[in-house]
Amino acid sequence: MFDTLEQARLSELHVTSDPETQLRAIIAIHNTRLGPALGGCRFIEYNSETDALNDVIRLAKGMSYKAALAGVPQGGGKAVILKPKQLNNRTQLFSSFGRFVNTLGGRYITAVDSGSHLNDMEVIAQQTNHVAGTRNDGGDPSPATALGVLEGIRSCVKSLYGRDRLKGVQIAIQGIGNVGYPLAEMLHAEGAQLTVTDIDQARLKQANHQLGATVVEPSEIYRVECDIFAPCGLGAVINDQTLPLLNCKAIAGSANNQLASDHHGALLQKRGILYAPDFIINAGGLIHVSLARRDVDASTIREKTLRIGHTIDTLLERAQAEGKATSDVANTMAEEILFAPSLPDRQNRDRDDKKESAA
């Protein structure tokens, strides 16, 4: 376990169990150089405790990188609650989780994530002030996430075809939930042609009727011939099994940790598939939550979210110039911010270099 923590450069790991409320939760704090760790609370079933641990570590690291490249004053953290197969009382469970968050004294701020909802955040807020995305500070961040993904897709289209208009662009969306459906609505409004999949049949029917989207089975979404494949569900969907099936020119979606392993980024590059790294393109929700709780006005938040497209432009240009996978370049860009020496350290190093040169 400690090797895993050290490889991820994780700074803190906190675990709690409260049998009375069925709470079993893990909070990972990756990096707080830029500010308190901010990241959602994931509430899903896991096959094992090890899976939950690995998930929270990867998610926390992704949040650090996301905050760094989004330019918000936050560190990276994440929480997972292992969802019981038979839940007795949701309110009691999230109340207990709120008390757990409060014990960390503000080093971690929680928010909505897969499986948790706005009402859960309201429950948590009764136990701690260290929660974001409630009705008091702007509410649901999902539309902001979708807006950022839209701008990232626009940048990918511009890189592929030299234009940023989305009319006629073929886009396959995997998952049309809290982020995927608003994204589909925005894309439809811009004239994109949509293919969608989800396990929620009601959502699929809605997308077909309202947006004219073509519906396919979950296993078929990878094979859809399209310009953009947009993963908007859970992570690790680009893996050894799915990568050979891809029939897209670019991947740009809202899901966290889309690559099952780092080497899949290089494999995408080898296949000529452009990849917009998830922790850049899906940062709209983080921007919204971080700035709304600081009472920043909505227009400023929107303007900063729209700049996600500019960040993707910069990334694609640098990756092309360096001949590297976009995932590797994105990691480097974030690490240059998170792990670079502080200003006094750099000054001391420069002074020592000058001394050695003079000698």
pLDDT tens-digit readout, 9-45: 899 999 999 999 999 999 999 999 999 999 999 999 9
Structure confidence by residue, pLDDT tens digits, 225-253:
999 999 999 889 999 999 999 999 999 99
User: What does the pLDDT read at residue 152?
Assistant: 98
pLDDT surpasses 90 at 324: yes
Percentage of the chain exceeding pLDDT 70:
94
- Res 342: pLDDT: 66
Smallest CA-to-CA distance from 31 within 335, 285, 341 is with 335
Active site residues: 78
Q: What is the mean pLDDT of the chain?
A: 93
Q: Please name the residues in contact with 297: beta carbons below 8 A apart, sequence gap of 6 or more.
A: none
* Helix residue ranges, H only, the chain: 2-8, 49-70, 90-102, 118-125, 142-161, 180-189, 201-211, 263-270, 278-281, 284-292, 298-306, 308-322, 326-338, 343-358
Strand pairing of 23-31 and 75-82? antiparallel
User: Does residue 354 surpass a pLDDT of 50?
Assistant: no
Looking at residue 168, what is its pLDDT?
98
Instruction: Please state, in angstroms and rounded to a whole number, the distance separating the CA atoms of residues 142 and 148.
Output: 10
For 101, left (φ over 0), alpha (ψ -120 to 50), or beta?
A: alpha
Which amino acid is located at 311 in the chain? T
- In the prediction, which pLDDT does 138 show? 66
Could you read off the pLDDT of 153-211 as tens digits, one per residue?
Answer: 999 999 999 998 999 999 999 999 999 999 999 999 999 999 999 999 999 999 999 99
Q: What is the mean pLDDT of residues 325-331?
A: 97
Reported as a pLDDT band with limits 50, 70 and 90, residue 355 is very low
**Residue whose entry in the numeric block shows the structure tokens 């911010």:** 337
Q: pLDDT band at residue 348, thresholds of 50, 70 and 90? A: very low
